[in-house]
Structure 1
Amino acid sequence: MPDDLQPGHVLVTLEDEYTNLEREVRRFRGDEEGLMDEFRPFRLMHGVYGQRQENTQMIRVKLPYGGVSADQMDAFAVFAEKYSGYRRGHITTRENFQFHFVDLDDVPEVMRLLASVGVTTREACGNTVRNVTGCPYAGTCSDEVFDATPYLAAYARHMLRNPICQRLPRKWKTAFSSCASDCAGTPFHDLGLIAKVKQENGREVRGFELRVGGGLSTMPRLADVIYDFVPVENGEYIRAAEAMLRVFDREGGLPNFLRKNMLKARVKFLIKEIGLDEFRRQVEEELAQPWAKEPLDMEALIQLAPEGPTAGEPPRNGHRPAPEFERWRETNVRPQRQEGYVAVTVTVPLGNLSPEQFRGLAEVMRRFSGGAARTQPNQNLVLRWVRGDALPALHAELTALSLGAAEAGLIADVVACPGTDSCKMGITSSQGVGYALRDAILEMGIDDPLVREIPIKVSACPNGCGQHVLGGIGLQGSSFKAGQTDIPCYDVFLGGGNYIGGGKYGTRVTRVPAKRMPEAVAKIIRTYQGERREGERFLEYVDRVGPKYFDPLLQELKKVGPISQNIDVYMDWGKEELFQVIRGEGECAL
């Protein structure tokens, strides 16, 4: 664990790793074709991912529970400004930051920049334990059983660089939630942990419910509860998780056909094949082995820098709040259980931040939230420990950074993966359609609360990095041919979402050209408003009318006509050339 307890400093950074990376980059440059198969997994294990554009990389940092400090945001500003061809950073649905269009030769220097503020990229990509996500309100939520954050940090520290995590069959995604609201979405992960307590001999014992085998992508599955309660004491929950990883990674633990097909080498397929009871039996077999009896230094593993308010009087701007302030306070501010303090969600459209915004947010964090913040799976940023009487001044500062928009987590706050702007696997421009949908919805001026709560999520391909199957309205990039010409499209999924006590995946209902998606979404909204029953939420409406109802509803929008009369529909959002499906292989599946 880090020697210095500072906000955001959760994982250890090692200079040797950057020296080794520098050496391996030089060696690779000497024989790129001959060393590609050897260099790729090494590069991925250090958080460096190839893009669809040749000779350029995406770098992903690893931020357990999305915790980030002001100094780290300043470093991200330098990264985006100096090393990213995009001049921006992107908040992912796994509470990380990604930076695109980075030259491979700059990577060692970038790693040292990040390490100077306590950030590592180790195991942010590749077939290993990925970034561990958590509820951004943990520690401040009035409903939480206990704050899961330190136990999440202990798990992340134990797994980082752990020999059992270096060559897993496929990636392993983990989420921790502190209460039944389950903001972290545990049912959708390989492993999900929800805080629980029980009484034993007159004392309160902390622990977690463990769920295993969830996942999104092409065959979404909800996780099963494998253990109702595993204590935190002596790190028992970490040992149980490690046993699951060992079963997952056992020689022969996965059937041969799964090992040969990397697209199916996830724990959800193993459980589907052998059953939960057999999986549990193998886990308990592992827990009886000598490794499981070795002590864990939990006192050291759970140590984190305390979070709290900025010292001194709260900033005030001396002016009347802007007209948009009340709407923003309604949608972006929630009270903490600590009296007088609130948690504020900064709406970050599609998760993208410029260098200027990174620097501005760093200063905002120092002045308003004790120098710390947390990212969210919906690609926003949460400022905690904000004084309630400082809200007008905070909103003014955020507005000056073009980050003062309301509607956080609501229908206009579209979630989208990077898509064909950079990703090898992308089919469509998810960022382009995401911005188009956001603009169209804001233009509609929706006040209907049941419509405003519908989340829209966009993925550029079936892999689902935009979590489209969790959208009330979810879009998955696809295409179809008109004659010999490809047309960019989206498969439309309806009725998904994360809610108290579980979750639900959306159902595919039809396919619509990309350029018609704003019209399609508007038509779905209007139809829902006109046909719903009293108080009927959107997912309930979709369940009632059934998925087959929507294809005829959107049929007119699927007529594209000849290219000579409607060339725009043959081009993707933000592009000036005719659309083509150009798709490579995802590197983690190679």
Structure 2
Amino acid sequence: MRSFRTELENEIVEKDILDLEKKIRLFHEGNIDDDKFRSLRLARGVYGQRQAGVQMIRIKIPYGKLTTRQLNRICEVSDQYSNGKLHITTRQDIQIHYVSLDDSPALWSELEKDEVTLREACGNTVRNITASEKAGIDPNEPFDVTPYAHAAFEYFLRNPICQEMGRKFKIAFSSSESDTAFAFIHDVGAIPVVKTVDGKEVRGFKVLIGGGLGAQPYMAETAYEFLEEEKLIPFTEALVRVFDRFGERNRRMKARMKFLLQDIGKEELLRLAEEERLALKNQEIWVDRSKVDSVVLPKEHTSVEVEILDQKKYDKWLNANVFEQKQKGFFGVLVRLQLGNFDTATARKLIKIVEKYTADDIRLTIRQGLLLKFISKEDLPALFNELDAIGFAEPGYDTTTDITACPGTDTCVLGISSSTGIARVLEDLIKVEYPDLITDDTFKIKISGCPNACGQHTIAQFGIHGSSLRNKENKMQLPAAQILLGGGFDGNGNPHIADKVIKIPSKRIEDAFRSIVDDYDQNSTEGEYYVDYYKRQGKDYFYELLKPLHSLENLEPSDYLDWYTQDDKFQLHKAVGECAGVIIDLVQTLIFEAEEKVGWSEEAFKKGLFADSVYHAYAGYVSAAKALLLDKKVKLNSQATVINRFAEHYDERFNFAEGTFVDHVLRINKNEPTEEFAALYLSEAKVFLNDVSELRKQDLAATEA
């Protein structure tokens, strides 16, 4: 894999890792507040784990693209710093668990040797940018979205506009209108479109905004039916800037862009984004498609005829896991992994198989599997045999038996009841009682350990999230499964959010699945999609169907135990999620943060990064203003509120040439980010910060007196 990094970029990465190491030391010494440190480490992929004293490390894999060198590097760090286990997420990341906090800088440094990063894999940032795994080889795609996903990843990584937002921000690229990357559940979703203008084909995107899952899912709204390709990243930047300024910051459950969209409406949101246009770093961004490596095909070899060791399984695999690419003569192979889990020993065997038969371009999928590309038809039998030998040739990718689930109570602090346990139970049930569903996609099953939807249960035909029930007779808690039905795509390709139908004891999930499948078999019409059948029957119909399973009469002792536990009494585990955590701002730290941000502004200015310099200075203004307002116990829920409230409380004590603090600060979107404006904005930010510090000292002195 060739490197596109400049010497400057390598210096930035090295500085970032050294900064994490320094902040860990300061945290151990008690010199950094726990909540502030949490924010810092999350933005560097270091996530607290359910088990005390260890961390989950999330490795950011843009649009799921891995080379064999990168996968081998990940294996090495997992073996050295963890337990040799790997987990693929629904955002095409790789997670490793049980890592010491003190080891995280060294682990990150090792990964960067092959340009693999942890930066902004967690926290209130632009998260990993996802894309359809088939992008580039999809027979139905208007064009390959991979270069655009890569360009967006590079553009927002370490970008000042998205380092301390109120919540996370998610972007996805689907390869075609079938929306296999689920653009409809993202803050920004892009679907490729080609239009003919004046006899020429013009590339662009249908752009969706404001989608999201979680406890209150919301379908994204269409911002543009067609936005020219060069305008996509600038528009996304404008939207991120609006979200950063106006997004909720106090009420964690209301801090996603979907709530801002609902509060102010699409028209106003787009108007605010348009207001940011002048201040953007680039008005147009034409994507350099050469920034994504061309496909490295396997070494030429003579295909050898082999004996299929399991013909029946091979035929099912060929039907369910293999498809012909748009590049004639080549095939893609999809690998189903149970719950997205595998180990480093198996991964190294896979690397040898890839080097022999496929392109050096492994794609992690949002369905927690793998895609191998550019396989010749003649090599399919041999590839099957070798994949089967390592457990990677199970038929049924993206079918009913290919269950999506988050780690849940295995490692996550938010897990309520076992998502992985339910997944294993249902997979075993399907294999024994409903074998036809192994290669059938009628029911997509998705499971989360809590309502937050990391397992995407709200867009499943059969969704489950972990919960609990309380038996009023004996006051005991028992693990429960909240069942959702009717999500996913209907027969016309339209997406739907699932309905919450009923909550039942977890140990009755098998009976619930049997009831749903048998009812559909008996009462649906020929070829009727399950989503359409669900809509036809209605939520009440299914509530009545499953209602007998809700009763807490005649419970067995085993009902009080979660799946795959024998002795542990079920207890409702409550914790604040780190992934969506909002920093608890302390007055005594905010002025220091403002000084730090103004320092970053100065560094950026010296490097000629004028747009970055302006935004860092803007962030310094907001932090300094917030410090004084919090000292007065003023309620603040967004950057916009900080700016407006500061004007109300302090305009008389400051002298702003523009008249008000609002006008003074919001010059950021009234001026182009030129060298002249950046110099002026930075110098005045320094003056303001000095004035705030002096005023703070005066107020403290007056209080003490």
1:421-474 deviations in Å (ceiling 9; x for gaps)? 111111111111111111111112432699643100001111000000111100
1:140 matched to which residue of 2?
137
Match of 2:25 in 1: 26
State the percentage of identical aligned residues.
36
1:247 partnered with 2:242: yes
Q: Which residue type is aligned with residue 250 of structure 2? A: K
The match for 1:303 among 280, 291, 296 is: 291
Q: How does 1:250-269 map to 2 (within 5 A)?
A: 250=245, 253-254=246-247, 258-269=248-259
Q: Which residue of 2 aligns with 1:491?
A: 482
Asked if residue 164 in structure 1 is aligned to residue 153 in structure 2, the reply is no
CA distance 1:374–1:451, change in 2 (3 Å): closer
> Bigger CA drift: 72-81 or 108-117?
72-81
Q: Does 1:105 align with 2:102?
A: yes
Q: Distance in 2 between matches of 1:101 and 1:488?
A: 25
Answering whether residue 459 of structure 2 is matched by residue 470 of structure 1, we say yes
Q: Secondary structure at the match of 2:443?
A: coil
Opposite residue 312 of structure 1, the aligned amino acid is: E
- Alignment-derived partner of residue 3 in structure 2: 4
Paired with 2:40 and 2:357, the residues of 1 have a C-alpha distance of 40
- Indicate how the Cα distance of structure 1 residues 528 and 426 shifts in structure 2: closer, same or farther if over 3 A, else same: same
Q: CA deviation at 1:312?
A: 0.3
Q: What is the match of residue 445 of structure 2?
A: 456
TM-score w.r.t. the length of structure 2 is 0.78
Give the superposition deviation at 1:316.
3.8
Partner of 2:570: 579
Aligned match of 1:218 in 196, 215, 220?
215
Q: Distance in 2 between matches of 1:286 and 1:584?
A: 38
- Give the whole-Å Cα distance in 1 for the aligned partners of 2:286 and 2:532: 47
Supply the distance in 2 between the matched residues of 1:501 and 1:449 (Cα, whole angstroms).
22
Q: Distance in 2 between matches of 1:67 and 1:341?
A: 19
Map of 2:335 onto structure 1: 346
How has the CA–CA distance of structure 1 residues 107 and 448 changed in structure 2, closer, same or farther, with 3 Å as cutoff? closer
TM-superposed deviation, 1:302: 5.7
521, 527, 531: which one aligns with 1:535: 527
- 2:319 matched to 1:322? no
Q: Give the direction of change, closer, same or farther, for the CA distance of 1:212–1:121 in structure 2 (3 Å limit).
A: same
Contact 1:413 1:456 in 2 (8 A): yes
Q: Which runs of structure 2 are paired with 1:134-533 in the superposition (5 Å)?
A: 134-233=131-230, 236-250=231-245, 253-254=246-247, 258-287=248-277, 289-293=278-282, 296=285, 298-299=287-288, 303-313=291-301, 316=304, 318-323=306-311, 324-447=313-436, 452-482=441-471, 483-498=474-489, 501-533=493-525
Q: Within the alignment, does 1:128 sit opposite 2:119 as a pair?
A: no
Q: Which amino acid aligns with 1:573?
A: W
Shift of 1:141: 1.2
Sort the Cα spacing of 1:184 and 1:116 in 2 relative to 1 into closer, same or farther, 3 A: same
Segment drifting more, 552-561 vs 56-65: 552-561
Q: Which structure is higher in helix share?
A: 2
**Distance in 2 between residues matched to 1:90 and 1:119, nearest whole Å:** 16
Structure 1 unaligned spans of 5+: none
CA gap of 1:211–1:248, structure 2 versus 1, over 3 A, is same
Distance in 2 between residues matched to 1:456 and 1:390, nearest whole Å: 32
Structure with max Cα Rg: 2
CA contact under 8 A between 1:188 and 1:223: conserved in structure 2?
Answer: yes
Q: Deviations over 1:43-85 (max 9, x none)?
A: 0110001012211111111111110111122222223333224
Q: Is the 8 A contact 2:470 2:478 kept in 1?
A: yes
* Deviation at residue 294 of structure 1 after TM alignment: 5.8
Task: Give 1:75's aligned residue.
Answer: 73
Question: Structure 2: how far apart are the matches of 1:387 and 1:241?
Answer: 39
Alpha-carbon deviation of 1:506?
0.8
Provide closer, same or farther for how the CA distance between residues 315 and 573 of structure 1 changes in structure 2, counting only shifts above 3 A.
Answer: farther
Q: Which residue identity does 1:19 align to in structure 2?
A: L
Paired residues of 1:497 and 1:505 also in contact (CA < 8 A): yes
Pick which of 65-74 and 16-25 moved more: 16-25
Paired with 2:527 and 2:438, the residues of 1 have a C-alpha distance of: 10
Indicate the SS of the match to 1:589.
coil
1:351/1:293 Cα in 2 relative to 1: closer, same or farther (>3 Å)?
closer
Match for residue 66 of structure 1? 64
When the two structures are aligned, how many residues end up with a matched partner? 573
Report the aligned-residue RMSD: 2.2
- Using the alignment, how far apart are the partners of 1:73 and 1:315 within structure 2? 26
Quote how far apart the aligned CAs of 1:11 are. Answer: 11
Check the 8 A contact 1:150/1:303 in 2, yes or no: yes
Deviation per residue, 1:318-358 (Å, 9 max, x gap) = 32352210101100001101111111001111100111121
Amino acid at match of 2:531: L
Question: Counterpart amino acid of 1:425?
Answer: L
C-alpha contact (below 8 Å) 1:243/1:284 kept by paired residues: yes
The separation in 1 between residues aligned to 2:523 and 2:36, in whole angstroms, is 58
Relative to structure 1, the CA distance from residue 169 to residue 302 in structure 2 (aligned partners, 3 Å threshold; closer, same or farther) is farther
Gaps in structure 2 of 5+ consecutive residues: 583-705
Structure 1 residue 13 displacement after superposition? 7.8
Question: Relative to structure 1, is the Cα distance of residues 498 and 527 closer, same or farther in structure 2, using a 3 angstrom cutoff?
Answer: closer
Residues 448 and 465 in structure 2, CA contact (< 8 A), matched pair in contact too: yes
Within 1, Cα distance between the matches of 2:383 and 2:132? 23
d(CA) in 2 for partners of 1:4, 1:293: 25
Q: Please point out which of 48, 51, 55 is paired with 1:50.
A: 48
Separation (CA, whole Å) in 1 of partners of 2:413 and 2:453: 14
- Letter aligned with residue 484 of structure 2: F
Give the alignment's TM-score, normalised by structure 1.
Answer: 0.93
Question: 1:221 & 1:243 partners in 2: Cα distance?
Answer: 21
CA distance in 1, matches of 2:81, 2:164: 30
**Structure 2: how far apart are the matches of 1:407 and 1:174?**
28
Alpha-carbon distance in 1 for matches of 2:284, 2:196: 24
- Cα deviations across residues 512-538 of structure 1 (Å, max 9, x unaligned)? 111111221122101111111222221
- The one-letter amino acid of 1:110's match is L
